[in-house]
Structure 1
Amino acid sequence: MKPWKNMLLSLTVSVGLFASSVPALAATPAASAPDTSIQVNGKAIDYSHGEAIVKKGTTLVPVRLTVEALGGKLQDVKNGTVRIVVNGKTVTLKEKAQLIGGVSFIPVRSLAETAGYDVRWDRQTHTVLLVSKATGEAARGFLWEVKNGPTTVYLVGSMHIADDSFYPLRDEFEKAFAEADYLGVEIDVSKAADEAQQKMVLEMGSYTDGTTLKDHISAQTYKELGELLKANGLKADAFDQFKPWVVETTIGSLQTSEAGYEAEAGIDLHFIQQAVKNKIPVLELETYESQLGMFNGLSDELQERNLKAAIEGFDTVVDSTDEMAEMWKSGDEKALLEMTTAIAADPEYYKALLVDRNVGMADKIDGYLKSGKAEEYFIVVGAAHYLGNEGVLKLLEDKGYTISRK
């Protein structure tokens, strides 16, 4: 069964925010996986030295041989900074190289995406597949339009973590945003690093009664968590002060961030940054406190179930996020609906994560539509909020609005 719960967080709440409030933890390399192979457009790279290795879930490859296999050229490596030549242009990689056995290694995703390749994973053959990106084809994503008299609302389904392959967005997104008088988001994630927000996470997500995580989850779950943390270079008790919902969201971010998916590249933050630059008012449909409160209000039993799911699905988080990214970029409503409705199997989680929040969002959007003014609103919330019988689109249709996909 796919780890739907962990995947859906990237479509429903800004989970990347929690990691910024959890103390940094020193990590050491995990064991390598020498059987990982790399293919470029279906052809395996024959490394004469320095085979691909895996550390903490990240596949590292020899820089020179890999960039040449991708049709590029290594310019130089100085103090870990890698410069390559792609299509006649010199580009500096964001990731630093590591010197292993006298060979410079770099995360394969960083190198491949810079060279213009999509990165996929074949779990059965333990192979990283690098596939040339189609040129000139922008991601479809999710965009709908609702009108009421002189007022127009554009509804965008966001993926809260993303990478450079999501951009540039289709012209329809940028044109609609260019005409917007207001940007609406779940919460303004650009404020996530504020001291007050970090304090709120620590106050709500930490135990203050003298107990620790070990006292609130089963011995088996605590053991499995400790083993996972140690396998990834952390201390087994690294998260003892935090409640299960904080631990769950944080360990998920360990994998996705190393795979290149970051909140900084999320669709909502992309438009927030543009709104600030263009001095467009940013409206929040929810509050930071309400999102944290939703997690903090989950029953102890559900928090442990979610934590167990995160532990069990840890090794497949990147694969699942890759799958979700492809779903978003292709604009596949069927796949989105499948992901969304799958969570209904857990009634408490479904109600808290989607149903209750969808009602609040739909009511806010209804209010914008009833302004009676010739204004345009550009609303960006997690894609999972829109579809299904209890989704935002259906709730707006029940209020009498006609919605068209763009």
Structure 2
Amino acid sequence: MKPWKNMLLSLTVSVGLMASAVPAFAAAPPEGFAQTSVNLNGKKIDYAAGEALVQKGTTLVPVDLTTQALGIKLKDNKNGTVRVTVNGKVVTLEAKSKLIDGIPFVSLRALAEVAGYDVRWDRKTNTVLLVSQATGQAARGFLWEVQNGPTTVYLVGSMHIADDSFYPLRKEFEQAFAEADYLGVEIDLSQAAGEDQQKMILDMGTYKDGTTLKDHISAATYKELGKLLKANGLQANALDKFKPWVVETTLGSLKSSEAGYEAGAGVDLYFIQQAVKKKIPVIELESYESQLGMFNGLSDKVQEKNLKSVIDNFDSIEDSTNEMAEMWKSGNEKALLELTNRVAQDPEYYKALLTDRNVGMADKIEGYLKSGKAEEYFIVVGAAHYLGKDGVLKLLEDKGYKITRK
């Protein structure tokens, strides 16, 4: 496996924690504009630099961030003419974009309707509501069942970043979840943006000894990073305070977001939100601290190698993320196994990302199976944790459990 694809694996089958690693700051609306919030299928769209803007009754939103949130691709925006790709077709918006404080904005309704969303207004909360019209073909995904006496455990292989094309899920997922007494996940991603979690990123992922990124990677890698950041509208030293693993994962998250894949649409977060509605307990197999520690514990050599690989292959990340998404949606177990096995070509990364964590996950799952109670557990972890000689399924089979693909 090419080293840069290791980063993609961490995003798609681990948590992709770094999407919020670089802090954002709210701003007041420009003169002549009011602000409003936008909710997409019940979840607020975070515009980072403020809310959506309202001018003379028209809600205007940043073109780039909103196309990402809606799961469509921005083709181009030339002279105010916005073209987007929806279901493989290029569509030109009737509404023109306009620059506001240097950022292109466009009518939210124009974008939302071509993307297949109904636009509604909640006067009480001053919120625009976008509700998906899409039905789509149910994704195959990865689902297994394990039983021990009266106890049943469903094992779901997640992709932690996704888009609307992943939904609706197959009825087998929904039926199994409907019967669940517990939802198990790697970590509760609904809490990932909390103050304590952000403090952990800063504590682990930044330098405290007066040095910066420039002092810890080669001059050549640092120079190439600076060029990449400037080409994407940032200062060359914008990420200097962060360690290589934070910079690497942040770059990957940003590029995957351009392709429309977001943690907010991930399979595990989808079920976490459903669990909250059903009021069933969410149990964590790992901790936020342990996952950050896994990245932070990688050697300097591996951290720089992964960072350089992402820089060198930055423009290819979108295509490869699309390939992984198709693998998940088609439930292609052979492709998943091949992907998982290739990670082993980097022993240190393989051990940290998969091997060690798989053992802990399998032990916890066995604990649930041994409860002796007529209970059902619905466990959602990254898909790559399940297959291969060191995978969770093999570890459970070695303990004597029979596993059935659903």
One-letter amino acid of the structure 2 residue matched with residue 402 of structure 1 = K
1:25/1:234 contact within 8 Å kept: no
Seen in structure 2, the aligned counterparts of structure 1 residues 58 and 252 have a Cα distance that, compared at 3 Å, is farther
- The superposition leaves residues 279-329 of structure 1 with CA deviations (integer Å, 9 ceiling, x where unpaired) of 110000000000000111111111111111111121111100000000000
Tell me if 1:59 matches 2:75: yes
Cα distance in 1 for residues equivalent to 2:233 and 2:90: 35
Tell me the equivalent position of 1:8: 9
One-letter amino acid of the structure 2 residue matched with residue 12 of structure 1 = V
Q: What is the correspondence of 1:296-375 to structure 2 with a 5 Å cutoff?
A: 296-375=296-375
Q: What is the correspondence of 1:385-400 to structure 2 with a 5 Å cutoff?
A: 385-400=385-400
Task: Count matched residues.
Answer: 338
Q: What is the correspondence of 1:178-197 to structure 2 with a 5 Å cutoff?
A: 178-197=178-197
Q: What is the correspondence of 1:214-293 to structure 2 with a 5 Å cutoff?
A: 214-293=214-293
2:117/2:133 contact within 8 Å kept: no
Seen in structure 2, the aligned counterparts of structure 1 residues 65 and 172 have a Cα distance that, compared at 3 Å, is closer
1:25/1:238 contact within 8 Å kept: no
One-letter amino acid of the structure 2 residue matched with residue 59 of structure 1 = K
Partner of 2:401: helix, strand, or coil?
A: coil
Cα distance in 1 for residues equivalent to 2:25 and 2:259: 18
Cα distance in 2 for residues equivalent to 1:282 and 1:218: 43
Instruction: Give the TM-score of the pair, scaled to structure 1.
Output: 0.77
1:161/1:261 contact within 8 Å kept: yes
Cα distance in 2 for residues equivalent to 1:350 and 1:139: 28
Partner of 1:80: helix, strand, or coil?
A: strand
1:147/1:401 contact within 8 Å kept: yes
Tell me if 1:378 matches 2:378: yes
One-letter amino acid of the structure 2 residue matched with residue 195 of structure 1 = E
Deviation at 1:77, TM superposition (A): 6.4
Deviation at 1:70, TM superposition (A): 5.2
- The superposition leaves residues 202-242 of structure 1 with CA deviations (integer Å, 9 ceiling, x where unpaired) of 01000000000011111111111111111111111111100
Partner of 1:143: helix, strand, or coil?
A: strand
Seen in structure 2, the aligned counterparts of structure 1 residues 374 and 59 have a Cα distance that, compared at 3 Å, is same
One-letter amino acid of the structure 1 residue matched with residue 351 of structure 2 = K
- The superposition leaves residues 115-170 of structure 1 with CA deviations (integer Å, 9 ceiling, x where unpaired) of 97xxxxxxxxxxxxxxxxxx863100000000000000000000000000000000
2:75/2:84 contact within 8 Å kept: no
Structure 2 unaligned blocks of 5 or more: 27-63, 98-104, 121-131
Tell me if 1:80 matches 2:106: yes
1:182/1:378 contact within 8 Å kept: yes
Cα distance in 2 for residues equivalent to 1:396 and 1:143: 15
Seen in structure 2, the aligned counterparts of structure 1 residues 24 and 145 have a Cα distance that, compared at 3 Å, is same
1:358/1:385 contact within 8 Å kept: yes
Cα distance in 2 for residues equivalent to 1:383 and 1:65: 31
Cα distance in 1 for residues equivalent to 2:91 and 2:305: 46
Q: What is the correspondence of 1:168-183 to structure 2 with a 5 Å cutoff?
A: 168-183=168-183
Q: What is the correspondence of 1:68-147 to structure 2 with a 5 Å cutoff?
A: 80-83=106-109, 91-92=118-119, 137-147=137-147
One-letter amino acid of the structure 2 residue matched with residue 167 of structure 1 = Y
2:84/2:90 contact within 8 Å kept: no
Seen in structure 2, the aligned counterparts of structure 1 residues 368 and 115 have a Cα distance that, compared at 3 Å, is closer
Partner of 1:345: helix, strand, or coil?
A: coil
Seen in structure 2, the aligned counterparts of structure 1 residues 90 and 244 have a Cα distance that, compared at 3 Å, is closer
- The superposition leaves residues 10-57 of structure 1 with CA deviations (integer Å, 9 ceiling, x where unpaired) of 233211x3231322399xxxxxxxxxxxxxxxxxxxxxxxxxx9xx99
Instruction: Give the TM-score of the pair, scaled to structure 2.
Output: 0.77
Partner of 2:156: helix, strand, or coil?
A: strand
Tell me the equivalent position of 1:207: 207
- The superposition leaves residues 56-76 of structure 1 with CA deviations (integer Å, 9 ceiling, x where unpaired) of 995326458978x95989676
Tell me the equivalent position of 1:405: 405
Deviation at 1:91, TM superposition (A): 3.9
Seen in structure 2, the aligned counterparts of structure 1 residues 115 and 365 have a Cα distance that, compared at 3 Å, is closer
Structure 1 unaligned blocks of 5 or more: 27-52, 94-113, 117-134
Aligned residues with identical type, % of pairs: 71
Give structure 1 regions of 4+ aligned residues with deviation exceeding 6 angstroms: 64-67, 71-75
Tell me the equivalent position of 2:51: none
